[in-house]
A and B are shown apart, each in its own frame.
Chain A
Amino acid sequence: MGLAAALEAALADILGPEAVLTGEGTAAYAVAGLAPVAAVRPATVEQLAAVMRLAHARGLAVLPWGGGTMMGLGNPPRRYDLAIDMRHLDRVLEHEPADLTCTVEAGIAIGDLRSRLAAAGQTVGLDPPWPERATVGGTLATAIAGPRRYAWGHPRDFTIGMRVVLADGRITRAGGKVVKNVAGYDLCKLYIGSLGTLAIIVEATFKLLPLPRASASLAFSFPGPGPACRTARELWRRGLAVTGMALQTQGGQYELLVDLGGSPGAVARSQREATELAVAQGGREAGSEPFWQEALASPVASRHLTVRLTVLPSRLAEALASLEALGPTLVVAFPTVGHIYARWPEGADARAVVGQALAVARAVGGTGVVHSWPWLAAGAPLVDVWGPPPPSAALMRRVKEAWDPAGVLAPGRMVAGI
């Protein structure tokens, strides 16, 4: 029996044969052109733990897989033997509407979770692109946030508890189920954004939000980034009832998209004031479709180069103006956060574009990350998509070594090749 067949048999023992894919079926789980030997779909946390014990014992490199919308993020894995598809772990375990909290399994799609919560007039702050596909676990592991971060915060702000499977198959908890808790180290923070390199998130508990009673969407078009950013900042300063905000540019026009939500009176007034503010900055009302999702990620394996710049909000307009010269096809920014996502089509000279985009960030004191570079094949000349290592990279490496000394979880995907 070959290695692949032996592995398939061992996995089938744990999961049943129908939950194990090998051969051509694993192509759907390729990352950076690298397909795993096998892909599995555990139906319980205990099955997943057993798979990890096996993987750990055999030194198999494992990548957890959610909706697959954000697999372009991170360095190509150094090794990749096994994909763990989390989408069968998709239950809502607890939802007590009167507590404004819920606990769910990590494989549930954000869209499903939203519908379940909406029935109780509530929602969760997770706001990834392509919510119908993106899962809770993937959204936490990538720490991705969309326009609603403006009001709902970052996943780290409302995730109050987690259950994870460690590299050796042990199941542990962090945090709890109450909205305020300082018992022990807050390891939820460590797992959020760790891209599957420390542990596999299997459950999460969130603080929830009431859905606003009234809402409205506005769009304003500006001739340049400066007035758009000034409008965004003034909306924030006045505390208007803004629930989401994105600035998008295509063809030289800068469009500020603003979602409002709250009491009917607050929304009506915010709509009036936002329009006045935008007009005073030279903006005019626009009606275009938002394309922030396309800029951040893709629901299918796409062939776009995406770079994310992080700058101080006060320097964002400047960075946007400089980026224009690099000819991106889509640019979306979150002006009050300081993030810019810029996308180029396949065929762009990726190395040159990335270098120039990162130089734009550096020029305004910011940093840049290659968010997606699908044709950067595993084993290609070394490029750290995260940019130069942060000052704390040595400490991060020690965290990885403490969590996963055998290096089985998503090896190489993180900052500095961690």
Chain B
Amino acid sequence: MNARLLSELKRIVGPRYVLHRPEELVVYEYDATIERALPEAVVLPGSAEEVAAVVRLARGYGVPVTPRGAGTGLSGGAVPCEGGIVLATSRLHRILEIDPENAVAVVEPGVVNLEVSLAAAPFGLYYAPDPSSQKACTIGGNVAENAGGPHCLRYGTTTNHVLGLELVTAEGDLVWLGGKTADSPGYDLVGVVVGSEGTLGIVTKVVLRLLPRPETTVTILAIFDDVDAACEAVSSVIAHGIVPAALEMLDRNTMLAVEPYVQAGYPPDAGAVLLIEVEGLREEAEEQAEAVRGICAELAAREIRMGFTPEERERLWAGRKAALGALGRLAPSYYILDGVVPRTRLPHVMRRVYEICDRFGLRVANVFHAGDGNLHPNILFDEREPGAARRVLDCGEEILRVCVEAGGSITGEHGVGYEKRDYMRWTFSDDDLATMAALKRAFGAGDAFNPGKVFPTHKGCGEVSSRMRSAIAKLGPEAYV
């Protein structure tokens, strides 16, 4: 990297907080996906003003800036595809305010998701979106990807819980969008920045909505002999007009991986389990729990367990949230998908997922937000086996095509990022995409932030795939879905 740019970066954030030696940079070349790309420099600003100064400087040099939270993302969002500067938010980790009267929190982007709920707990409040990585992932990353999580079924994803943002624009200006009060006059720019994958600006403060803890939570574990019956049960619960707080599915391969690792209490001999939670007033939760139990029983659940102690419930969720990391026990590598389908199509699409993987000769472990119709097939493979990576990518593409054909989406909560950008044309026309590009133009963002993400390229798919092939590598136990 240009020596003068480096020294100016050091002047802005302090020499300690600019990394540029190769052994320092490799730590920032990846997130939880198969993508890899080395930044030319990493900066760790300590304030919003420093972020703005870094952005202004980078703009002057025509160098792109890619923001990075904890690097737990699953679409390559934090990977600097085109090099440049990675701006890590790890020093912007202060909770600036918990306002219990108005049920809002104001935080910096580097604050870890779970810390918000911990800080709000003394007031009986919490922050609802709960990605499986919530002990590690940051609010800034959640905002960029519009992160979901198991309990988003009832409470909505990140976008439903962000009231305001302070943003550094491409010009390096600090501007507030929205705020602590509801419905700020003008266009809802908060709503478009959430989920923009770090391409429109860099978020330096976030106003979050907090919710009161529900009075009662009932956890239900419904055990099925096969995935098909479990899927039918999911569709039936929704069709009965019951929207639980969470409705998760784990299949046999997932439980085989999780149980030896976490001892969460899942029956590894079952075909699939549904981990269901209903919440609210005691009367409401108990009635819903009974209704859910009735539906599962009718659809031939082998066993329905309820009445868990808080410790048992904790272990079930620990097993669910650590599932992706545990898959490392089954295969050296895996490739995770994030398709969404209408809930009525779940049984059909899941049958297709297994058929397709069988046809490709690949093992798959499914652990996902069934109530939302948000699938996460994890395709297991060994990257050292010749041709395996190609097969995995082709298999994944076919599964996402099935999701789209069923009326769904290529991504429910992980983001488009790099790997799925060429699939955007499956659901969006040129005019649709041109309109999205108009937003980037309005923000003056061009390629200033996180270039190479979201929008399809004019490169052929083969070119992209060859890059991905070379990038496929083993994931560690730090990964979450």
Contact = CB atoms under 8 A, between A and B. Distances in A.
Q: Does A associate with B in a complex?
A: yes
Contact of B413 (A180, A241, A269, A367): A180
A27 interface: no
B177 A266 contact: no
Contacts of A263: 283-284, 287-288
A19 interface: no
A401 interface: yes
- Listed residue (B103, B146, B181, B288) with the most chain A CB atoms within 10 angstroms of its CB: B181
A157 B183 contact: no
B454 interface: yes
B102 A312 contact: yes
22 contacts: A98-B238, A100-B238, A101-B342, A172-B432, A179-B340, A182-B414, A182-B416, A185-B192, A185-B436, A186-B192, A262-B283, A262-B284, A269-B281, A310-B181, A312-B101, A312-B181, A339-B183, A366-B181, A395-B169, A395-B177, A398-B443, A399-B439
A406 to B, nearest CB: 14
Contacts of B183: 143, 154, 193, 310, 339
Interface string B155-169: 011011000000001
B283 A178 contact: no
A222 interface: no
Contact of A186 (B182, B194, B414): B194
A106 interface: no
B188 A99 contact: no
Contacts of A416: 186
Closest 5 CB pairs of A and B: A189-B191, A210-B241, A265-B283, A98-B239, A415-B186
Contact of A392 (B177, B288, B414, B427): B177
A395 B283 contact: no
Interface string A82-105: 000000000000001111110000
Interface residues of B, number: 86
A302 interface: no
A179 to B, nearest CB: 6
B62 interface: no
Contacts of B254: none
A157 B182 CA distance: 13
A67 to B, nearest CB: 21
A384 B431 CA distance: 33
B411 interface: yes
A172 B429 contact: yes
Contacts of B454: 184-185
B361 interface: no
Given A100-B241, A176-B408, A391-B176, A396 B187 contact: yes
Contacts of A194: 187
Contact of B435 (A172, A236, A241, A339): A172
A239 B103 CA distance: 14
- Listed residue (A185, A198, A414) with the most chain B CB atoms within 10 angstroms of its CB: A185
A326 interface: no
Interface string A297-312: 0000000000000111
Interface string B318-332: 000000000000000
Given A198-B187, A266-B287, 13 more contacts: A99-B342, A100-B238, A157-B156, A173-B432, A174-B432, A177-B407, A182-B409, A182-B415, A190-B187, A209-B243, A367-B184, A390-B176, A414-B187
A181 B408 CA distance: 8
Given A392-B189, A395-B442, A183 B182 contact: no
B231 interface: no
B235 A237 contact: no
A402 B424 contact: no
A314 interface: yes
- Listed residue (A97, A237, A238, A366) with the most chain B CB atoms within 10 angstroms of its CB: A237
A187 interface: yes
A317 to B, nearest CB: 12
Interface stretch (B37-45, B110-118, B295-303, B369-377): B369-377
B61 interface: no
Contacts of B146: 182, 186
A97 B343 CA distance: 11
A51 interface: no
Contacts of B288: 263
Contacts of B191: 156, 186, 188-190, 192
A99 B349 CA distance: 15
Given A180-B148, A189-B188, A96 B429 contact: no
A138 B211 CA distance: 30
A240 to B, nearest CB: 7
Nearest to B176: A391
Contacts of A210: 241-243
Nearest to B338: A182
B181 A311 contact: yes
A68 to B, nearest CB: 22
A412 interface: no
Given A180-B152, A241-B281, A391-B176, A99 B182 contact: no
A46 B169 CA distance: 37
B263 to A, nearest CB: 30
Nearest to A262: B284
Contacts of B409: 176, 178, 180-183
A170 interface: yes
